Structure 1
């Protein structure tokens, strides 16, 4: 069910509420907008006081607990094995690959877990893992067996599972591979050999080929030097710096940043070197180790104090597979994390999922995040897909005496102190707050979309914000359009514009800016690989800036006219600009959501968190959008939002404070916002002055398109405070200041930048 808006005004304005002093307005110095008052949601604070957010839960995970959990997962799947054990066919909706392929997936992915468990114990095998999986290998590799595995020609997905089989066979050589009958080993190598020369897709799949052929090479099977060389070369072209890979290219650009960077693009290259040993190309191991070490310095900042990884990108049902690069760093001496921090991170993450319903009553990993939740799945997700999480147990290969298992736990970065971090490779601003353990990301980088054409927004890539304690709204019915963590245009029918593809304009310090062409797809179904072929109606440009510090983001948006194109029809409008905050899961026990109108403010409380949006400039109304069955963290959810009362003015900066925290937002936390316009270029510069005196400046350039001046910085001297926007007396709807969706007058003024917003208007909302 798509989220539905609740009209503003459903709760009394604080100025009218009995016993309320109303929102105090601070007087503003000449030429400087006042800071808006933010009503203290006292009721919400009191109601949440009994359920404080657990920012720093104890880990309690030692090696023995990891082993017990691995055993529980392995034993739980056995009742679903075929007679010969070559297939593990778990209950549930099959993937688009079919049940035959899904059964191989169940065997291969759990075999990898069994390999880590068996090899890590030095062959000690109380549950007879070696015998059990050896039986399955004999039946699956035999082409005459009724349980034979599908060939690569019969199932493309089998190539993925071949890599898990190869890794597991390598790690268990003394206990499984070396003891298999000669005929079975020949059959396994023949089955793997079909990978040689295969034209693999241009993403992490190339490493399935490389790892498979590396094992085959060491076992006397077929392999190709050209295949291995191609894999290494392509991987280097996808490296974007600072430890980050794009999972292949989209539209020839590095736009695919997600968890595959860690659990595939860093994981497989080092295991490739491990399998080949001295036969690995010179210098390759050191190169991959250095890249992983750099990545992990960022990755540890993307884990919340609750142990959750960032809820962003595809294949989220793999859950604690996000530990794969962390364990790989420890195994290959390629990590900046102290041993105690490695164990704490791993324990918190595994505990986060096991403590939030990742397994069902039969002990099986479900398709979802905290619970079964199909909207975050992809077409390739089948009942056994979650067992990619087996990589989260790779640390069992570290011997019991390793410092990771013996050192005292050390806190994660978000448990030590607040931090702000700029990740230029993916185009993310990151903020962590110690008090609540929340990590937030402002996304102005990759969106897994071809920049050459419009796409429907995949909620896992197209949102402006992602976090460790929040999930994007992913409704089963996509026709509601983007609501949470967004800046969109909404037409009279209620249709919201989509963002992908976005263009990154700048990412520096605590600021980032991106631009996209508003568009409305006729078919709004999303797909991270492009989505269905459909017609798009095109609208104006939307430029969005984020200034992220602590629990608060200042988000600024401007709307500019865009030319019509022959490929897609234009959307005539009119539109209203809507800005959505963080979506939160909610229960009946959570405080009621609130909206106020002086200034427009909306607040949602849930799961011990508070999500608030406050207008700083230009918005007229506050509202709350409620969702049912649209959030991975709970069956009910809500999102606070702001919108304009009419069409937005061209080039006018609309701004809001977007807040996510374990405590309610207070007036004292709100920054001052100073805006200036450059009439010669159309650029808008914003100066954000934080209450503690720290300042950030960000530029929103005009698009280089008809009707818009080219981008250039404001003319204020370096380090000077921008002057307020110059007054103008024309109404916002006059011809000299055209609005989005309005008919543009055919006059000389129509081709000039819209008149600057007035200082009076800035002071009214800021």
Structure 2
């Protein structure tokens, strides 16, 4: 039965710990139908990943084992689902080399390195109730299976934490481990630190949810649940991580919409409410810096966002998608068991019922209570939310899942100029190759658009007039990536490249309205061919019915409004046309997705173009600001945005060196 809401304790969501426990237990019960005979695999329905069915079955075991372990820890050893013994049986079968259900070892398959960490983590935190009760022969086989991580290569991304966790467990139970490898992995983690509490998942500009659900989660769980501080982990390093987590969460809480939606940006979005994990680890360790009532509000809001929208599905399962099943979201490594990394987002169940986070009165989210803007410098983001809309938006001038100078197509989930908690870029269809939404592109006579991946970040800062400003530039290019068949891990695609001009783009953001500035610098680029023009796209809005635009070319303003959202673009300087790009079946949020756009007549090289870009819940038409442009004498421009209320914001578009 569904627990009764408690609107006094939880005035925002009505949810209590009982709701979380009920949801978790329902997920654990539902997967039991797909348990293999000996219990080592959960062979869930759905597509098979590039790793194969055996790896997917292990993934189903390990990721639901996470959730089972959190339940047992939070109940101080009591097993409310009665399933712990079944997981013990699966451990015995999966690590038995003679079993028909034996797991692929970490030295045989890379994905097993990932799942080994979940298994080791839960064995560590449930030791009195599971590990200590296992048959000695089973414990020996588990150690043998886990110890194959020692000496194995790990990519220098969040994966290093899988080896740290496994070898730390082996150390505590007397198995083989390598202090040198843990030291090496901690050095990799340090090299991913970008300041302000932010980490990049690799040397590329890879800022996404992995910052929270991996690069903060594992260090803090490691130092909380393993005896490592002062030995394997220097005290100063631990303090740095704790401070980093608090700084990160201070930003991250602004990236959740009033409806509980996480930011729809970056890879592995099929993990859904795993986005709650860093908030929970802050509460668990006492280093999050957020009030207990706010922690529960944000986490319950994230989980309810999905449970209110058909998650889990009618069979009680987490499928590959966002709200419903939508296979277009999956990466090559995603199989039917992958979505159960959402278990990380239920880490709060490891906190006992008497913990303050379960007993404090909920506090509302920033997106519910304030009009707010902030600069998040490491990823090059401007963040804004307005109380009237409850939507958090990000304007992006520093993230593309690549390094400066890279020549790839734009990854839809990384390289767009904007992301939000209510929209998602088209993930399939023609606009993936020829981006329209939140893109500034040169479009040729055949309709092919340029890509900006590999751009240079110029600045992201607070500006005068109560505004925020960010800018980036780079030589755009056309990329023919039709022959690229490499696995999709979130990167853009490679292919034959035709170089374009240098394009500088700046965003001036105030009270949710963006003034987007563009300059095309033709140096080093041949004259544009006949039919080329500049196109600036707005926000992608999903709808159930076929979209129709409001406005038209003569007004140089066009918008599209669904039942819940409005996307509007308006030409302020240099744009001569506009339109609406609409496609069916390209995102998980609706049957159709529409993007309003502005366009020039030809390519006005060296001129500053300006348009206003807005995503909101509708209402009165905004008044466009005026844009005043002055050459700076060094090939660049000084641009002043004169807002309708009399305030002004001045930014620079530097010349190209």
Bin of the TM-score, shorter chain as denominator length = over 0.9
Specify the alignment match of 1:350 in structure 2: 303
Determine helix, strand or coil for the equivalent of 2:516.
strand
Distance 1:438 1:268 in 2: 29
Specify the alignment match of 2:501 in structure 1: 540
Aligned length: 637
- What whole-Å deviation, never above 9, does each CA across 1:249-293 have from its counterpart, x for those lacking one? 03xxxx111111000000011112123325442313322111101
Distance 2:419 2:144 in 1: 45
Asked if the contact 1:95–1:102 (Cα under 8 Å) also holds between the matched residues in 2, the reply is: yes
Specify the alignment match of 2:41 in structure 1: 87
Return the offset for 1:110: 0.4
The answer to whether 1:326 aligns with 2:279 is yes
- What whole-Å deviation, never above 9, does each CA across 1:85-128 have from its counterpart, x for those lacking one? 10111111111001010110000000001100111112222321
> Where in structure 2 are the equivalents of 1:628-643 lying within 5 Å?
628-643=584-599
Larger relative contact order (CA 8 Å, sep ≥ 6): 1
Determine helix, strand or coil for the equivalent of 1:277.
coil
| Candidates 227, 230, 238, aligned match of 2:181 | 227
Specify the alignment match of 1:662 in structure 2: 617
Specify the alignment match of 2:522 in structure 1: 561
Asked if the contact 1:479–1:495 (Cα under 8 Å) also holds between the matched residues in 2, the reply is: no
| Candidates 115, 118, 132, aligned match of 1:178 | 132
Distance 1:606 1:117 in 2: 41
| Candidates 677, 700, 705, aligned match of 2:631 | 677
| Candidates 247, 251, 256, aligned match of 2:206 | 256
Determine helix, strand or coil for the equivalent of 1:291.
helix
| Candidates 41, 45, 65, aligned match of 1:111 | 65
Pick closer, same or farther for the CA change 1:57–1:256 going to 2, 3 Å: farther
Asked if the contact 1:244–1:261 (Cα under 8 Å) also holds between the matched residues in 2, the reply is: yes
| Candidates 260, 272, 275, aligned match of 2:222 | 272
Pick closer, same or farther for the CA change 1:480–1:458 going to 2, 3 Å: closer
Specify the alignment match of 2:345 in structure 1: 392
The answer to whether 1:515 aligns with 2:470 is no
* Higher gyration radius (CA): 1
Distance 1:184 1:434 in 2: 56
Asked if the contact 1:207–1:231 (Cα under 8 Å) also holds between the matched residues in 2, the reply is: yes
Asked if the contact 1:57–1:305 (Cα under 8 Å) also holds between the matched residues in 2, the reply is: no
Distance 1:333 1:639 in 2: 43
Distance 2:410 2:81 in 1: 46
The answer to whether 1:584 aligns with 2:541 is yes
Asked if the contact 1:214–1:223 (Cα under 8 Å) also holds between the matched residues in 2, the reply is: yes
Specify the alignment match of 2:578 in structure 1: 622
Return the offset for 1:143: 1.0
| Candidates 131, 148, 151, aligned match of 2:85 | 131
- What whole-Å deviation, never above 9, does each CA across 1:700-728 have from its counterpart, x for those lacking one? 12222xxxxxxxxxxxxxxxxxxxxxxxx
Pick closer, same or farther for the CA change 1:665–1:613 going to 2, 3 Å: farther
Specify the alignment match of 1:208 in structure 2: 162
Distance 1:623 1:258 in 2: 31
Determine helix, strand or coil for the equivalent of 1:599.
coil
Distance 1:593 1:310 in 2: 26
Return the offset for 1:615: 0.4
Distance 1:399 1:692 in 2: 52
Distance 2:11 2:498 in 1: 48
Specify the alignment match of 1:702 in structure 2: 655
Distance 1:617 1:60 in 2: 48
Return the offset for 1:359: 2.2
Asked if the contact 1:293–1:329 (Cα under 8 Å) also holds between the matched residues in 2, the reply is: yes
Determine helix, strand or coil for the equivalent of 2:270.
helix
Pick closer, same or farther for the CA change 1:559–1:520 going to 2, 3 Å: same
Asked if the contact 1:458–1:528 (Cα under 8 Å) also holds between the matched residues in 2, the reply is: no
> Which 4+ stretches in 1 moved above 3 angstroms?
476-480, 524-533, 569-574
Specify the alignment match of 2:564 in structure 1: 608
Distance 2:359 2:628 in 1: 53
Distance 1:295 1:349 in 2: 17
Pick closer, same or farther for the CA change 1:480–1:281 going to 2, 3 Å: closer
Return the offset for 1:634: 1.3
Determine helix, strand or coil for the equivalent of 2:149.
coil
Return the offset for 1:616: 0.4
Asked if the contact 1:215–1:275 (Cα under 8 Å) also holds between the matched residues in 2, the reply is: no
Alignment TM-score, normalising by the size of structure 1:
0.81
Determine helix, strand or coil for the equivalent of 2:503.
strand
Asked if the contact 1:539–1:570 (Cα under 8 Å) also holds between the matched residues in 2, the reply is: no
> Where in structure 2 are the equivalents of 1:68-83 lying within 5 Å?
68-83=22-37
- What whole-Å deviation, never above 9, does each CA across 1:35-68 have from its counterpart, x for those lacking one? xxxxxxxxxxxxxxxxxxxxx9931111000000
Determine helix, strand or coil for the equivalent of 1:637.
strand
